[in-house]
Structure 1
Amino acid sequence: MNSSKKGVILVSFGSVAQSYKMPDFLKKKFLEAFAQFPDITFLWKYEKDEDNIAHGYDNVITGNWLPQTDLLAHPKMLAFISHGGANSIMEASYAGVPLLCIPLMADQYRNAQMAQYRKIATIVKKPEILEGKLTEAIKKIVDDD
């Protein structure tokens, strides 16, 4: 956390929607977006270390388990990219960390809308990731006080 130049962004989609099951073309879009921010460290909860998904991306660190609550409380935490689950929204809100929500199912759509309405989140819909909206949303969250 402390070695990051500009700060850290946590990436986690909870325990049900596991990142390693994401289609390869989507993983690539995430990594391409992260590469646009070399001064920011991205901590990505990625469940299969053997995939070596972040190889060649110096600003991306993966782990199959991350201490989410502790990380969100760190002063260098810039944002949380999440599915918008209730626990993630509550933990980020409590820590005062802005959210970039990518809702995937169930209550996550409503949770993300509620957080956006309260100006603590930006929403990117899954199809918009392919259109480059992820990079735009990260820039907005990092640059907009």
Structure 2
Amino acid sequence: MVPELLEFKEQLDHVVSSCFQRNEKFTYSVREAFEHFINQRQNKPAELIAKFVDVKLRAGNKEATEEELERLLDKIMVLFRFIHGKDVFEAFYKKDLAKRLLVGKSASVDAEKSMLSKLKQECGGGFTCKLEGMFKDMELSKDINITYKQVGLLIFIE
């Protein structure tokens, strides 16, 4: 659904720009109509967008370069602005991010942080506070493990 929505939105934007010279009324009407129909199924679009982002940010997704992934995340943020169930998106995104971080399946820490910054810019710091905390917890865990291994090695040597 998400790739089709992205393509449909691109087509609508092309029609408004080429046929109506980006007239404000047409642009506003398209935006309103898009928002209306995307939210017909309440929380489902938020869930599907979060799952789509998860698939694209997984390490197994080697089909896109960093620049392509960044452009895709920008397009996804356009869809994100239309959905009403942002809290539902956050719940699914948080669960998927935790899995990616814990299992080490994240394609790129830079891409993850880029997505977080986009969400923070769109929804504010309160929205991303717990998500950013996950990255801090992972860094802390990594530091503790390194210290533990160093101390264990020193004890073993003595």
Give the TM interval when normalised to the shorter protein: under 0.3
- Give the TM-score normalised by the residue count of structure 2: 0.26
Structure with larger Rg: 2
Greater fraction of residues in strand: 1
- Give the TM-score normalised by the residue count of structure 1: 0.28
